[in-house]
Structure 1
Amino acid sequence: MAARPLRLRLAVAFLPLLLAAASASAAAARGGFNVSFDSAALAFSDLTLLGDSFLRNGSVGLTRDTAVPSSSAGSVLCSRAVAFGSGGGSAASFAARFSFVIAEQNAGSTGGDGIAFFISPDRATLGATGGYLGLFNSSSSAAKTNASIVAVEFDTMLNDEFGDPSDNHVGLDLGSPVSVNAVDLAAFGVVLNSGNLTTAWIDYHGADHLLQVSLSYSAAKPAKPVLSVPVDLSPYLRDAMYVGFSASTEGSTQQHTIKEWTFQTFGFPSATNSSSFSNTTGNASAPTVPGEAAAGGAASRKKRFGLALGILGPVALAVSFVFFAWVSIRKLIELTSRKDAGFLPELVKGPRKFSYKELSAATRGFHASRVIGKGAFGTVYKAAMPGTATASAVSYAVKRSTQAHQSRNEFVAELSVIACLRHKNLVQLEGWCDDKGELLLVYEYMPNGSLDKALYGEPCTLSWPERYTVASGIASVLSYLHQECEQRVIHRDIKTSNILLDGNLSPRLGDFGLARLMDHNKSPVSTLTAGTMGYLAPEYLQSGKATEQTDVFSYGVVVLEVCCGRRPIDKDDGGGKNVNLVDWVWRLHGEDRLIDAADPRLAGGFDRDEMLRLLLVGLSCANPNCDERPAMRRVVQILNREAEPVPVPRKKPLLVFSSSASIKLQEIAFACGDDVRGGLPAAATSPRSEGGDIER
């Protein structure tokens, strides 16, 4: 007797116990099975992990989670085989839905590849790293010895030898890494390695010989698929196949994670060979004797009635639970919406509200080619708004926040702070958008990019007068934020990558995602420590209290970078040991060689008195003892030659901590480790962010 459709559901996420019980009862009744994994207890017997794959916090990681570039490959499969049909006949239809994240652990690394959803006759499937997606072998791809593998690849690397259309594409692979059909995702506004949670739907209709793939950043399935391929999979799908995922990297820190996964087969073909699955699926039926059928009619009806109650009871319970949960969630969403609706208009009397359609069109669907920056809270795109008959197009910078709740908090915080600020050295907020689940801030476009790119690019594009102007401009805007606003604004993330340069190379301070408002007459309170290692004041790391003086310390580090052309934590001349910029400059000051700290790329093209003045300002602001740092108003006076520099001791002062310090000195030292990620100590990194941003 032919086997019924085998229904497999794997969800590496939390599912309510009532729903799981109801689904299990229903699955038992129809002869299939339903396996659920909650985030607290995963059953290893139901998953086969191969290569570098691992389980963590209710998710499956496929490649190594490391900040050091490496080559890695891993796969995860359901341990039980799935029946798709006989090799010679038609194949069963199937549908897969899963969510994944492809994240760059180190923004400077290259060589990441992608994820593949696959169906294989072998549950020991593990291939080569790099372009082979951990699925195919490099020595056998041409010969197609893996000819029975069906895979849908979500590829983030351009491999010319495989005919890839771009480094951001989806393709169908049949027994080879060379896709039989592939599509560039540029037109669909999806960037696979953006770090966003992405949901994919793969549907194969056996009767129509059609495979479709859809992608979205939300849980709603798009009306239009990104890939639609007319293909007959019956030559590849056999009686016993294994379903899973694989991923690979090559000299990269790209990390691939599967968050949830559901899969089912349906429209099962009639095939004589399928009877071999009757025992495993519980669909075997014993022959019925006609005489017994009449005698057992009443018993059969009672059995069916009991079975119906056993199924409908848990189902009714589950439906009730879902209904009440849905009502509660809707009320919560409406309440939140009312709060936001009442809050945001007060903030945005100046900036306008853009529509999502406008911003999507202006960024070409948030195409990867329009990316001009990435940060801990989102990606920044260049937007070109169409001009009028009398004016040319206007360029903006659109900051697209990720979908996490924390990012929404940062979005509201940034909007609430910067919407009411006006200063010539601030990046001007032009508008905002909160449509279609997207969080978007629209800023004026800065054509010369960020200070760090100008300062550390080859060649350096900043002359000494331009550098001095940058230091003066940022001092002026910080004095405004600290002392001239109705409420003090503590930026908490002063660094060269958050300082932008306009068309005249004048500095503009941006990225207020971590900023905090504080009344002038109130003391600071402890908060989550946030910012970037190398720029964080010692007392801030100790107490978590952000003040004007913690911003002053970060400004001092930026000033030293501007003078020296060196990063806050850099390698020594031998390229081995980490060197802290503040310590290095202070040592030269103690040896009466402070002028030697000047950036050698300036080739002496600077005013000696200005250089010494600016270096002394940087050291005084980066003093380990916060009480010894000057206020930003005093710094402005010094740079305008209205006051003399603050005296700086020849020897760097010792760090002073209270006896109640909750963290050890070696834990907050800027250059205590030898393992470096993106030029920062290993201790500076955290899962939350890129480039050394931390929050604890």
Structure 2
Amino acid sequence: MTILLFLIVGFIPELCVAASSDHEQFVFNGFTGSNLSLDGAARITSTGLIELTNDSARIKGHAFHPSPLRFRRSSDGTVQSFSVSFVFGILSSFGDIRGHGFAFFVSPSKDFTAAYPIQFLGLFNSTNNGSLSNHIFAVELDTIQNTEFGDINDNHVGIDINSLNSLKSYAAGFYNDQNSGRFTNLPLIGSQQPIQAWVEYDGNKTRIDVTIAPLGLAKPLTPLLSLAFNLSTVLTEEEAYIGFSSSTGLSTGHHIILGWSFGMNRPAPAIDSTKLPKLPYLGPRAPSKLLEIVLPIASALFVLVVGTTAVILVRRHLRYKEDVREDWEVEYGPQRFTYKDLSHATKGFSSKHLVGVGGFGRVYRGVLPKSRSQVAVKTVPYNSKQGVKQFTAEVASMGHLQHSNIVQLHGYCRRKGEFFLVYDYMVNGSLDRYLYGYGGEEGRPPGATATVVLDWAQRFKIVRDIASGLLYLHEEWDKVVVHRDVKPSNVLLDNNMNGRLGDFGLARLYDHGTDPHTTHVVGTIGYLAPELAHRGKASTRTDVFAFGVFVLEVTCGRKPVVVSEDTDTPGRGTQLMLVDWVIQNWHKGSLVDAIDIKLQGRYDVDQACLALKLGLLCSHPSPDARPSMRQVLQYLDGDLPLPELLPAHFSFHMLALLQSETRLNTSTVSLYPSPAMTMMDYGSVSFSLDGR
């Protein structure tokens, strides 16, 4: 009878022995015909693999054992010993570009609808991460370093309790018993060689051990991670579900499970590597047999092929033809990209690669064919030769800016009346998306959910980042750079949510110690310093003004110009400047009421009030009353006390002042409205006053 049972097991994917719930076990050698519970993007492929995620951005997927398991002993209620083993692979269709990793977990519920499809691995969100009410034990295999979780690198294994801030983590690898137990690093992503993992809990010693090794290698004697922890304090329900969870974020990846086994109060059954399905191959395909047959036949049609090829070459030449490189442009040559490279990088400027649309053009995500680096390509139209020369000179100069809080401009290309500016690609998009969301279903990319709300620490750091970037532009580079368009949509966030100032399409530069002679005033309504309306001269002080409005916007979560609905006259409303609204709250003795309600009171009150007062000081109508960016940074770092300020010091009405100045220049005012940027803004929304 025993022999017959094992013969039957050879033909089904799951083995389950349930003589008693205290000794339950199962094994999956592939998942064809299994009855696992799946949700989100997770699916079982035709070859028998569990694919948790794919090439889609901002998705999550879960795979659960169909029924809960009894983890707690009936006698004393403590969590029993258990052992889990699984074989996995993490692949990317884009080379080194990687998505977030995945996790094995034990949870009292299968409901993860509230989890974010970004760096939270489909388990938590910004609100419940770290909450004791989660009752979740997990082992993460992470391929992106997220500093907000204290990740040690972008290739690590961690033991998680109710949070993605791992109690213990270590670089992915194994202690090779075939090499005197020496530690060997093991990349989690990109290899066609599957990896096997073991997660074991000793209920008597209350110890968790985690081990990984390449498939086919015996389980190492020394675990990668070992942590003394009593899971009875976490897994408080009598039964719990086990499974896998993953998410992709803005970068994507394939998180794949090939086999899985489990044992309660016994080692997990061995997974038969000979019965496992193969990992899919995502690289270039080898030439097919059909191609080998077609090529000899094609040689017999040589004349036709030559004629067709000639036509194709001519059309291709016309397709990638650029403006001729002129003599004056030679000095900027090293920073000029070919249109062909940019077209290939963006898949022909495909709509699938479009990440932003604004008044100054479109922005596309791309991967440069030679360096394989991710870039953002912004298109800017032009219509005069003189403007081309001036703009090219300034682009080339600003390409030399090097600062951790400045978006790197790598170069340009020009063709048929358009400039193409090539920047670093910021995977987390622009700051305004985190302050205000996507702005409707039309602005939300496929598969995306609600935007993460930035906590106060993140906001304060971003404010400091931008202050540091402006100080570099104003005082620390070879020339003085006046940005002229500081606002949240021009602040981009990198992998680690660091703020970087981008979009130098409106910037102007001049030598230190000289007076800028700018007569064409551009910028964005709500951020324009009042002196611009009648003097038409941008300076570092006008950047400080815009920075002050920016600080208030980040702190309050409100736009600089707010239209309040007139209840007496439907469809009509009054405009209120954010600066005035903050001052009104201060006059009423309730300055903290101006702080963004989405923070739900979780902020440092002294820091937040400092930010509000500093924002008001920077946006003072008198340029001489505004601090320099060096002083701003000293205030933020606590190296210099903020001057003693009272609400009476700020008795100005910004909207009325701006409207009066605009009326004085009625004959020379031109407004250029532009649609709001979607997902990421490397472009400018402009308001132009052609001054005297």
**If the length of structure 1 is used for normalisation, what is the TM-score?**
0.45
**If the length of structure 2 is used for normalisation, what is the TM-score?**
0.46
